[in-house]
Structure 1
Amino acid sequence: MSRVEANGIRANVAVAGDGPAVLLLHGFPHTWRLWTHVIPRLASSHRVIAPDLRGLGATTRAADGYDAANLAADAEGVLDALGVPSAAVVGIDAGTPPAFLLAMRRPERVRRLVLMESLLGTLPGAEDFLSSGPPWWFGFHAVPGLAETVLTGHEAAYIDWFLDAGTHGRGVPSEIRNAFVDAYTGSEALRCAFEHYRAMPTSARQIRDAVATARLTVPAMAIGAHPVGRALERQLEPVAADLTGRVVDSGHIIPLDRPEPLLELLAPFVR
């Protein structure tokens, strides 16, 4: 593990392997350990870089800066701190919008882009997925101060719900589950997690502004599972110059639930 200065925070970063760089951006309720089964395979031929996002895991619990553009600046700062000029960038869940904006704003830093199991703000294409409204926790997490007040002392049960739902009840290895629970225990840890949701309107505006004046020129792959499916791919189709879409038979937490099918797609694409 390394601690590096990046965009005004100290980012906790797992680094493994040598070769062309691959940057892995996790989501909620995860840390860099989301990529536990992915890192060894990729590290056989790549330099794999997996930071904890702002406020999460062992990265600085910042007061603000949780919008996608600033998270993209965090990611670029990690690359700068490690002396990496460019990388294949992989984002899932909350890691997807900053990965997208990094590729839009700094395409020379992104060799390939892989986006998984998330939406890109309010871009058209996700109407079917949102026909019954956004997931219930989006609203709960968005109310300032509410979720952390309600959940403090009940973090393990709450995290377990997401881990079970995201693997269709199969769960994740106990060591990883315990690491996630530890990372999200305490009112300040929870506040930082929910700041990512509270910044979503700002992130959506940043994404709309980005695609209003430019196209995504970086070769990109959209990988869906359950529940997002092809919604992200449909959002990307009008704005991406070179897009591949795939769906895997997996719960939402693909890197832990179905790492082998994911690696079959990921390894050759980032190579």
Structure 2
Amino acid sequence: MKPFQQVARSLALAATASLALNAPAAPAPVVQSRYAVTERVTLHYLESGHGDGTPVILLHGYTETSRMWRPLMAGLGDGRTVIAPDLPGEGDSGIPADGYDKATMARDIHALVHKLGYRKVNLVGHDIGLMVAYAYAAQYPDEVQSVTLMDAFLPGVGDWQKVWLLRDKWHFNFYGETPLKLVQGRERIYLEHFWNDFAANPEHSVSEADRRYYAASYARPGRMRAGFEYFHAFPQDAETFARFARTPLTMPMLVLGGEKASGSFLITQATLIDTRVQGVIVKGAGHWLMEEAPEQTIPAITRFIDQVSPVQRSLRIAPAHPERTPLSRKQA
């Protein structure tokens, strides 16, 4: 190659590198608020991202709604669709009269997935949501590419009674008319127990804005009763999960445990239900992994899903003045 050609090539490569380094970051995917009517219940869900990658289904836990996943949705939505439903009975989803065992709730989420035209999915669940995610994977193993379980436990699997009987688990038996009357009008006081006592540090747990939002959401008619029913169904869940565990899953499974919460307990349980488990202890975190340690939690989940479900990411240049999406109550 002649000297002037080498210089020209070097200048071109340098210009390309400069453009790549100085290009505006791709805008975060817009999050849309949507509804789907399934056979048993109408489900509200948040949706973002697009592409041919296997969709990701995010399942929230108790005291929260699909809102908890918004920071993670931004990291997952380039090259795939990300869907975060409100579980039956909470958020803006319908309130079934019964069926709060996790196998039934998993069938509701499965109906949503098929309603939206998808078959195979990646599942991510926190708290009650991880129980629904496991029940989904156990019932539809051929339709699940990967599972991520985040800090809680699986009723009926291994020595699960050690969690059931631990201090501060009185709320497992707190349901019925008297508890409902005691909590009515004091929903935030009740929910603060979870946000504070299950955190490594209450000052770095669920934010004040989110606490106001969730307290108002759970105070709406029927929502607190539905949440109590999640716990009321644990004995039934234990029987079902013990049966599911007889047939171990074989898809990749990531398990995240808060160092100051479930620790390695859920990881140990996961090895009893799946043959391909990766365990991660989130350092310094309590139960609220997304809120207490997002800098550890979000990259761990995105790396895992990108590895087991790679996507072709597009190089997108942000517009000079990107549109802002208004945040309505139903989008929050």
Q: Which residue of 2 aligns with 1:270?
A: 305
The aligned residue for residue 34 of structure 1 is 68
What secondary structure does 1:209 align onto? helix
1:13–1:32: 8 Å Cα contact kept in structure 2? yes
Q: Deviations over 1:137-171 (max 9, x none)?
A: 1122xx42232111001012222332233442123
Shift of the 6–118 alpha-carbon distance from structure 1 to 2, 3 Å rule, reads farther
Q: Which runs of 4+ in 1 moved over 3 A?
A: 125-134
Q: Does 1:224 align with 2:257?
A: yes
Question: Equivalent of 2:194, from 162, 165, 171?
Answer: 162
Q: Which residue in 1 is equivalent to 2:128?
A: 94
Per mean C-alpha deviation after superposition, the further-off stretch among 143-152 and 26-35 is 143-152
Q: For residues 57-106 of structure 1, what are the alpha-carbon distances to aligned partners after superposition, in whole Å with 9 as ceiling and x for unaligned? A: 11001111100110110111111121111111001100111111111111
**1:270 Cα deviation (Å)?**
1.0
- Larger displacement relative to structure 2 (7-16 or 172-181): 172-181
Counterparts of residues 37-52 of structure 1 (less than 5 Å)? 37-52=71-86
The residue aligned with 1:146 is 178
Computing the radius of gyration from Cα coordinates, the structure with the larger value is 2
1:258 corresponds in structure 2 to 293
Structure 2 counterpart of 1:107? 141
Letter paired with 1:94: I
SS at match of 1:159: helix
Cα drift, residue 33 of structure 1 = 0.7
> 2: CA distance between counterparts of 1:164 and 1:17?
33
Aligned pairs (5 A) from 1:143-222: 143-167=175-199, 168-169=201-202, 170-186=204-220, 188-212=222-246, 214-222=247-255
- 1:246 offset after TM fit, Å? 0.9
| Structure 1 residue corresponding to 2:169, chosen from 132, 135, 146 | 135
Q: Which moved more, 1:161-170 or 1:116-125?
A: 161-170
Give the AA of the match of 1:78.
L
Compared CA separation, residues 204 and 38, structure 1 to 2 (3 A) = same
Distance (whole Å) between structure 2 residues aligned to residue 231 and residue 90 of structure 1:
18
Match of 1:2 among 28, 34, 41: 34
Structure 2: unaligned runs, 5 residues or longer: 1-32, 307-332
Closer/same/farther in 2, CA of residues 126 and 8 from structure 1, 3 Å limit? closer
Tell me, which stretches of 5 or more residues in structure 1 are unaligned? none
Q: Distance in 2 between matches of 1:66 and 1:7?
A: 15
Q: How many residues align?
A: 268
Take 2:164 and 2:135, find their aligned partners in 1: how far apart are those partners? 22
Amino acid at match of 2:286: G
Please, what TM-score do these two structures have when normalized by structure 1? 0.93
1:260, distance to aligned residue in structure 2 (A): 1.8
The AA in structure 2 aligned to 1:12 is H
**What percent of counterpart residues are identical?**
26
Provide the alpha-carbon RMSD of the alignment.
Answer: 1.7
Shift of 1:238: 2.6
